Amino acid sequence: MKIQHDISLKKYNTFGIEALASHFIEITTIQNLQEVLRQKGYRKKLVLSGGSNMLITNDLNALVIHINIKGITILSEEENHVILKIMAGENWHELVIWTINHNYGGLENLSLIPGNVGTSPIQNIGAYGVELKDCFESCEAMDISTQQIITFSKSDCQFGYRDSIFKNKGKGKYIITSVNLKLSKPPHRPNTSYGAIETELKKNNIDHPTIKDVSNAVISIRQKKLPDPAKLGNSGSFFKNPVITKDKFITFLDNNPDAPFYQISETAYKIPAAWLIEQCGFKGKRYGDAGVHKNQALVLVNYGNASGQEILRLANKIQDAVSTQFDIEISPEVNIIG
C-alpha cells in the first residue's frame, strides 16, 4: 500500500478532466481499505471508483482512494437463478459480458454503461427499461467511521430513479465493497419493451431474441447515440429527467403540445431533459472545449482540454435557459466534486 502525491486524475475520470490529487492510493483488498481509512493525518478522504459519474471542478487537496478490488463469485445456484457476488472494482460492462457468456440473464439491457460495479447502486443505474434494482439482492459497504462491513438489503438501499440511500442519508458515510445480483438461468424473459430495442431487433429480423441479441441491440443503439468516453470525454447523462406535478404539466403541455413525456403516477410526469435542452438550442453547441453532444443533448462532452469549471459553467447556462424557457428546473445527475 503506497500513498502517492500530486497525481493527475485525468485517466481516472471519464470526462477526462485534468486535476491533481494531492494524495492518491489504489486499493485492491478490503483489509487495505480498512488500513487506509484508519490512517490519521488526512483531513479529507475521497472515494473514486470508475470515475464515470463525476465532474471534478478543481485540484483536490485530499487523499483520493481509488477502489480497485476485483472478483466475481457464484454464491448460490438454483434451478432458475444464480446469485453472484461481484467486487466493487470490476468494470460494469465487462461484468455484463461475463454474465452473457455464462448465459445468466438480467443485465443485458444495461450493456455498455460506463463505470464500475461498486458505484452501480449509488445512482441505481438504468437504461432501456431496466434498472439495477430489478436484479439487485444486496450489497456490502464499509462504514467509513468504524471500518466495519455492513450489509444493505434491497429495501435498505431505498432505490428510486437514479437514486438510493447512498445519495441521501448515507451520502459520504459508506464505501460499497461488493454487490450481490440475482440473475436468471434459461429460459430467460428478456425485456424488449423499450421502443428503440424493438426497432433494432426488428431491423435485424430477430423475433425471439436471446440475451446476447438484446445486449447487441443495446450496444448498437448506445454506440449510435452516446459518445465513447475513451474517444470523447463525457459522463453519460449529465442531468436527470425532471419530474413535474400534474398542474405544472397541464400548463407545460398547453404551451408545448409536441413535447414527449412519460406519466409516472396519477400526479407526476417526467419530461426528457434532452428535449428541453435541445429546444433551448444547445444540441451540438461547442464553447471552447466544452460542448453538448450532437446526438444526445443530455450528454455534455469534453473535446480535449476543458476544465471542470468550464463544463460546470455550461451546465449552469443550460439550467438557466431551461428554467427561463419552460419554468422547469433540471438538476445534475453527476456528482460535482471540488
Residues with active-site annotation: 162, 237, 333
Q: Give the residue, chosen from 84, 87, 127, 290, that forms a contact with ligand EPU under the rule CB under 6 A.
A: 127
End-to-end CA distance of the chain: 25
Helix (H) or strand (E) holding 290: strand 290-292
Helix (H) or strand (E) holding 100: helix 92-101
d(CA 144, CA 142): 6
Q: Which of 134, 123, 223 is nearest to 164 (CA)?
A: 123
Q: How many Cβ atoms sit within 10 Å of the Cβ of residue 257? A: 7
The minimum distance between CB 185 and ligand EPU, in angstroms, equals 25
Checking DSSP bridges between strand 286-287 and strand 299-302, what pairing results, if any? unpaired
Helix (H, G, I), strand (E, B) or coil at 151: strand
Shorter beta-carbon distance to ligand EPU: residue 24 or 239: 239
Q: Give the residue, chosen from 283, 301, 308, 315, that forms a contact with ligand EPU under the rule CB under 6 A.
A: 283
Q: Is 241 in the site for ligand EPU (CB under 6 A)?
A: yes
Q: Is 260 in the site for ligand EPU (CB under 6 A)?
A: yes
Q: Give the residue, chosen from 115, 227, 236, 242, that forms a contact with ligand EPU under the rule CB under 6 A.
A: 236
Q: How many Cβ atoms sit within 10 Å of the Cβ of residue 333? A: 19
Q: Is 131 in the site for ligand EPU (CB under 6 A)?
A: no
The minimum distance between CB 272 and ligand EPU, in angstroms, equals 3
The minimum distance between CB 213 and ligand EPU, in angstroms, equals 18
* Contact partners, residue 259, CB within 8 Å, separation at least 6: 252, 253, 271, 275
Site string for ligand EPU, 292-321 (x = CB under 6 A): ----xxx-----------------------
| Burial track 77-106 (b if 16+ CB lie within 10 A, e otherwise) | eeeebbbbbbbbbbbbbebbbbbbeeebbb
Which triple of cell numbers denotes residue 157? 438501499
Shorter beta-carbon distance to ligand EPU: residue 7 or 127: 127
CB contact at 8 A, 70 and 88: no
Stretch that binds ligand EPU, among 81-89, 90-98, 272-280, 310-318 (CB under 6 A): 272-280
Shorter beta-carbon distance to ligand EPU: residue 85 or 283: 283
Shorter beta-carbon distance to ligand EPU: residue 52 or 178: 52
Shorter beta-carbon distance to ligand EPU: residue 19 or 274: 274
Q: Is 128 in the site for ligand EPU (CB under 6 A)?
A: yes
Q: Give the residue, chosen from 98, 272, 317, 323, that forms a contact with ligand EPU under the rule CB under 6 A.
A: 272
Q: Is 119 in the site for ligand EPU (CB under 6 A)?
A: no
Q: Where are the alpha helices (DSSP H) in 102-180?
A: 154-157
Q: Is 274 in the site for ligand EPU (CB under 6 A)?
A: yes
Shorter beta-carbon distance to ligand EPU: residue 23 or 222: 222
Interacting residue ranges for ligand EPU, rule: CB under 6 A: 127-128, 225-226, 236-237, 240-241, 260, 272, 274-275, 278, 283, 296-298, 333
